[in-house]
Structure 1
Amino acid sequence: MRRDPSRRGIRTPWRLAAVGCMLTLGGCAHHQQSTLQASGDGAQRVEGLWWLMFWIAMAVFAEVMLLLGWALWWRRRPRAKIRGGDAIGGIAVLGVVVPFAVLVTVYGLGLRDLNALAAPRQDPAVTVDVIGHQWWWEVRYAHPAGAVTANELHIPVGEPVRVRLRTADVQHSFWVPQLMPKTDLIAGKVNQTWLRTATPGQYRAQCAEYCGKQHAFMALMVVAEPRAEFDTWVAATARPATTTLTAAQQRGREVFERSSCASCHTVQGTTATGSVGPDLSTIGSRWSIGAGAAPNDAGHLGGWIVNSQTIKPGNAMPPQPVSAQDLPDLLSYLQSLK
């Protein structure tokens, strides 16, 4: 029996969506994104309000089911008669007084949490500028100058961090589910938010506003670490890239500087000063390639350089004409940038 072409056409997008969901969930397996596993001050308030509303909803559901059961039972009784006046008191309490009290309570708690989320209790210890691009995150630290990275945000544990948000193109939304609520990046405007966690670890962030074809692969990793480790990392990030290179890495640097890579990317301490793509001064130690599109290893990095469109279609990087002889040296150089 032949299949109806119209049915096949309808099912195909759903299959593609299902595959996309499985791939996305697979990539998140080691970095869960859940507001119900809160580790930050802001997310804990959101989680608390969520659970309150959840249990209120469960109580209302239970109440409705009990009333429905009672009504069915009463109706089956012989000679059962219910007069309208008999139910007025119950309707007034359960239908007006209780919902009003619940709504006022939830509204008041919501205002309390909004006020607490507006600013931290103490002045932020670190200020970071996060710029959204299609489809990656640029991260710049106010101090020290020159500390720039991409798709990775390091913060000190136990200290509030001010995050200034702006977009380089379309509207995005910055969201670290386990640390903070969403904050939009709006063209022509600088929004501010803050985050703080007392728990060291890695927390995956995500663009939460549809921003184009690769919206699903616009992720960022927040790394919360002790203050001493944070200071060491940010100071190293601000310094020029390492000059202690092997012979192969030196050849790779020469390939990088004379190719089109240097026109779009920056590597501090070299002639590469491009600003179209992410700063690659610490590419060797980053958690992923393409803002969560692929693991950061030699195989995927080589595939990204040769033709990134096969990994993340629609991104701004065209295929690079790097020869098979030069590619291993270039990979060795890029992996040394940490």
Structure 2
Amino acid sequence: MVALAGCSGAQTPLDPWGIQAARIAELTHVLFIGGTVIFVLTMGFLAAALLAPGRVRERIGSRRFVVGGGIVFPVVTLAALLVYSLGVSRALTLPLGPAPLRVEIIGRQYWWEVRYPDLGAGAVTANQLHLPVGREIELLLTSADVIHSVWIPNLHGKMDMIPGRVNRQRLRVDRTGVLRGQCAEFCGLQHSIMAFWVVAQEPAEFDAWVARQQAPVPPPADEEQARGMQVFGEAGCGACHTVRGTEFQGRLAPDLSRVGSRLSLAAGALDNHRGTMAGWIAGAQDIKPGNAMPAYGRSLEGTDLLAVAAWLEALR
């Protein structure tokens, strides 16, 4: 059971959730099986050469056997595996349909900006990718600073994100659930804490999510939330963050319009609830040193930190 623990779960290429990942998993199995067969045969011939009776060793050492087993067999076998691998690689780039849903993902130090240009203004989130089940998706991948690499093991292989260039990756998710993606290219101090969640939804549920994203956020529901919104503005948070339907329209940091509904904070560094929200605002540099978020633990009172966290938690 321990040996099979990595064969399923929210971040493994051996548990494919889509056709592209299934092709990659099949390629993996074929190459492992092929390599194993070659290794076993080689070790078998080595054992025979060392331990077998003299006549057998003479046959193994004959020119015909050396040419057949040492040249013809590996050339034919490896060539077949190469042709098969190239065929799978080409299949991964072929479109499944004429009109995929485009999703822009921009890698930043150290978080992910996600936009849905086909769905109109307001369809923006951060560190969480929502996808409709059964529909082909085209990821438009780029970077705003250094080279990153996006990897959702259950859906596809790795793809680099290069400043000034847009790389494209097509995929499809075939079942609902939650998966984990990761930056797979060292991009700085907090590279290891640069993850995101992939939420695969039925089309109707996905459409409802998009509608919520596009709608202005509701007004504060009580005095504490109103105070939190006020402190958010007074502390200058709106210069970096956007909260749709308010005066806060910053573009330097994650869009917080529906941050309360996200599964994590700080690109997978923390679970998302009021306590971790307040802790992140107070000590972002202690939790994730080197990120662009300043720490407000010394400039804000504890009640104000909790008020801001209460307001942001209510943005769902």
Is the pair's TM-score, using the shorter chain for normalization, greater than 0.5? yes
Partners of 1:284 and 1:336 within 8 A in 2: yes
Q: Which among 14, 17, 20 is matched to residue 39 of structure 1? A: 17
Moved more, 321-330 or 286-295: 321-330
Report whether the alignment pairs 1:64 with 2:51.
Answer: no
Other-structure match for 1:127: 102
Structure 1 residues without counterparts, runs of 5 or longer: 1-27
Cα separation, partners in 2 of 1:147 and 1:82, compared to 1, 3 Å: closer
- Once the 2 structures are TM-superposed, how far is the Cα of residue 330 of structure 1 from its aligned partner? 1.2
Q: Which among 88, 106, 109 is matched to residue 113 of structure 1? A: 88
Q: How far apart in 2 are the matches of 1:45 and 1:333?
A: 45
| 1:100-124 residue CA offsets vs partner (Å, 9 max, x unmatched) | 2222222212221122111322124
Moved more, 285-294 or 248-257: 248-257
- Once the 2 structures are TM-superposed, how far is the Cα of residue 279 of structure 1 from its aligned partner? 0.5
Report whether the alignment pairs 1:299 with 2:275.
Answer: yes
Partners of 1:31 and 1:204 within 8 A in 2: no
- Once the 2 structures are TM-superposed, how far is the Cα of residue 256 of structure 1 from its aligned partner? 1.2
- Once the 2 structures are TM-superposed, how far is the Cα of residue 328 of structure 1 from its aligned partner? 2.0
Cα separation, partners in 2 of 1:95 and 1:239, compared to 1, 3 Å: same
Other-structure match for 1:275: 251
| 1:62-118 residue CA offsets vs partner (Å, 9 max, x unmatched) | 1122112212222xx4x7695589522222222222212222222212221122111
Alignment of 1:65-104 (within 5 A): 65-74=43-52, 77=53, 87-104=62-79
Partners of 2:190 and 2:289 within 8 A in 1: yes
- Once the 2 structures are TM-superposed, how far is the Cα of residue 247 of structure 1 from its aligned partner? 2.3
Alignment of 1:211-250 (within 5 A): 211-243=187-219, 245-250=221-226
Q: How far apart in 2 are the matches of 1:98 and 1:86?
A: 16
Partners of 2:220 and 2:229 within 8 A in 1: no
Report whether the alignment pairs 1:153 with 2:129.
Answer: yes
TM-score (norm 2): 0.92
Other-structure match for 1:138: 113
Other-structure match for 1:200: 176
Cα separation, partners in 2 of 1:85 and 1:280, compared to 1, 3 Å: closer
Q: Which among 179, 187, 198 is matched to residue 163 of structure 2? A: 187
Structure 2 residues without counterparts, runs of 5 or longer: 1-5
Cα separation, partners in 2 of 1:317 and 1:292, compared to 1, 3 Å: same
Moved more, 247-256 or 304-313: 247-256
Cα separation, partners in 2 of 1:72 and 1:238, compared to 1, 3 Å: same
- Once the 2 structures are TM-superposed, how far is the Cα of residue 258 of structure 1 from its aligned partner? 2.1
Q: How far apart in 2 are the matches of 1:298 and 1:254?
A: 17
Q: How far apart in 1 are the matches of 2:34 and 2:272?
A: 45
Cα separation, partners in 2 of 1:100 and 1:255, compared to 1, 3 Å: same
Q: How far apart in 1 are the matches of 2:303 and 2:252?
A: 27
| 1:235-285 residue CA offsets vs partner (Å, 9 max, x unmatched) | 110111112622221221111122221111110011111111100011101
- Once the 2 structures are TM-superposed, how far is the Cα of residue 60 of structure 1 from its aligned partner? 1.2
Partners of 1:34 and 1:178 within 8 A in 2: yes
TM-score (norm 1): 0.86
Task: Give the secondary structure class of the aligned counterpart of 1:103.
Answer: helix
Q: How far apart in 2 are the matches of 1:84 and 1:221?
A: 59
Runs in 1 of length 4+ with deviation above 4 angstroms?
A: 79-86
| 1:123-162 residue CA offsets vs partner (Å, 9 max, x unmatched) | 2441111000000000011112211100001010011111
Cα separation, partners in 2 of 1:119 and 1:250, compared to 1, 3 Å: farther
Matched residue count = 307
Task: Give the secondary structure class of the aligned counterpart of 2:181.
Answer: strand
Report whether the alignment pairs 1:287 with 2:263.
Answer: yes
Task: Give the secondary structure class of the aligned counterpart of 2:303.
Answer: coil
Query: Match of 1:111, as an amino acid?
Result: L
Q: How far apart in 2 are the matches of 1:218 and 1:60?
A: 39
Task: Give the secondary structure class of the aligned counterpart of 2:216.
Answer: coil
Q: How far apart in 1 are the matches of 2:60 and 2:200?
A: 62
